[in-house]
Amino acid sequence: MQAYFANKTVLITGAAGFIGSHLVDQALAFGARVIGVDNLITGRRVNLTAALQNPNFRFLEANVSLPTASYLDNFLDELKLGEPAFTKIDLVLHFASPASPPAYQNSPVETYLVNSSGTHNLLTYLQEKSPETRFLFASTSEIYGDPLVHPQKEDYFGNVNPNGERSCYDEAKRLGETICGVFTRNYQMDVRIVRIFNTYGPRMRYDDGRILPNFINQALQQQPLTVYGQGQQTRSYCYVDDLVRGILLLASGDGLEGQTVNLGNPEEFTVLETAVLVQKIINGQVTKENVVFGDLPSDDPSRRKPDITKASELLGFAPETTFRQGLERTIAYFKTEESRILE
């Protein structure tokens, strides 16, 4: 996989986000030139601190929902003068989007636009200017909605409320997948889709409202953990380094055009079990006072677990980080000052 990236130019949308910034760092470590694009609505410049020191990295603050030429052409023209190698893009990783339920529900229009128009605009631009460029779209386990099939395999079509609070995200990701399918079938472009299950690790925003940033920060501050509903719903958590390895395997492999692949860690926990584990690691003990129960958000999926047989067969993918190891690294991150910087 590393050999693929050496000397390639990779454009990463959502580069200042949680997963995007880890992709930036790993692609740079593999010897790629990277152009990172982000409008910083949920992304944070601080996530790019290391990348911005690297001569193989360029950052463009722009909204990728807009027509691609409107922000990219000038930027590439300027780069062409001094850095011509940057301007032939080999691979696009489209990761721009709010991803936590509170964040995407606060920015529903931006969310559905970036996953639909953003995907369409990027692919249309590439089709016209550089049809051999490979494109990888960040889809999500949310396309399975509140799944009636367990665990979720790629051939399951899902159970999504088209007009619920989560639909600005999950229906837009579904439309994003549809657009990818059209450019694969009708325009013979090399498009790949990764369906990402719950992922955690350093560089998540402490205020993003997802379960692990909430629980870890609540436990660090000796506040009770906010369990929604009875806490019997399940999630399967993948540590970010494992996810990034899987994504780059999917992006770099030969003969994977048109493939849609789940990535995640199939080890499944109830929300209550998650709360207990976080409390045990941080505070050593769990008491009734450590937890408060709140309302279950609408359309909250009752269970979620990836079937990763396809990723294993196609990519040789297997998660390597245990939940406890990943939690310890994430807790260490949330103790740093950097984790408090929101820009």
Q: Where do contacts with ligand UDP occur on this chain (CB under 6 A)? A: 100-101, 198, 210-211, 214, 226-228, 233, 235, 271, 297, 300
CB atoms within 10 A of CB 121: 22
> Between the CA of residue 157 and those of 144, 152, 160, 258, 261, what are the distances in Å?
7, 9, 9, 17, 13
To the nearest whole angstrom, how small is the minimum distance from the Cβ of residue 101 to ligand UDP?
A: 5
14 and 140 Cβ atoms separated by less than 8 Å:
no
The residue type of 250 is L
Using DSSP, state whether 144 is helix, strand or coil: helix
Closest distance between ligand UDP and the C-beta of residue 114, in Å? 17
Instruction: Return the number of the residue (8 or 235) whose C-beta is nearest ligand UDP.
Output: 235
CB 267 within 8 A of CB 323: yes
- Nearest approach, Cβ of 222 to ligand UDP (angstroms)? 16
Report the alpha-carbon distance of residue 179 to residue 187 in Å, rounded: 11
d(CA 141, CA 236): 11
User: Please, how many CA atoms are within 13 Å of residue 160, restricted to the half-sphere of its CB?
Assistant: 22
Supply the residues annotated as catalytic.
169
- Taking the C-alpha atoms of residue 213 and residue 172, their distance in angstroms, rounded to an integer, is 25
CB 68 → ligand UDP: shortest distance, Å?
A: 28
Minimum distance of ligand UDP from residue 141's CB (angstroms): 8
Contacts of 79-84 with C-beta under 8 Å, sequence gap 24+, read 83/58
Rounded Cα–Cα distance for residues 63 and 118 (Å):
9
Nearer to ligand UDP, 132 or 207 (CB): 207
Q: How far is CA 46 from CA 36, 51, 99, 273, in A?
A: 13, 10, 18, 32
Cβ nearer to ligand UDP, comparing 91 with 219: 219
Q: Are the CB atoms for 169 and 142 separated by under 8 Å?
A: yes
Quick one: 54 or 161, whose CB is closer to ligand UDP? 161
Strand order in the sheet with 91-94: 57-61, 33-38, 9-13, 91-94, 134-140, 191-196, 260-263
Identify which of residues 75 and 293 has a Cβ nearer to ligand UDP in the complex. 293
CB of 276 to ligand UDP, least distance (A): 12
Q: Tell the smallest beta-carbon distance from residue 135 to ligand UDP (Å).
A: 25
Nearer to ligand UDP by Cβ, of 49 and 223: the residue is 223
- Nearer to ligand UDP by C-beta: 295 or 337? 295
Q: How far is residue 119's CA from residue 113's CA, in Å, rounded to a whole number?
A: 9
Give residue number: closest CB to ligand UDP: 210
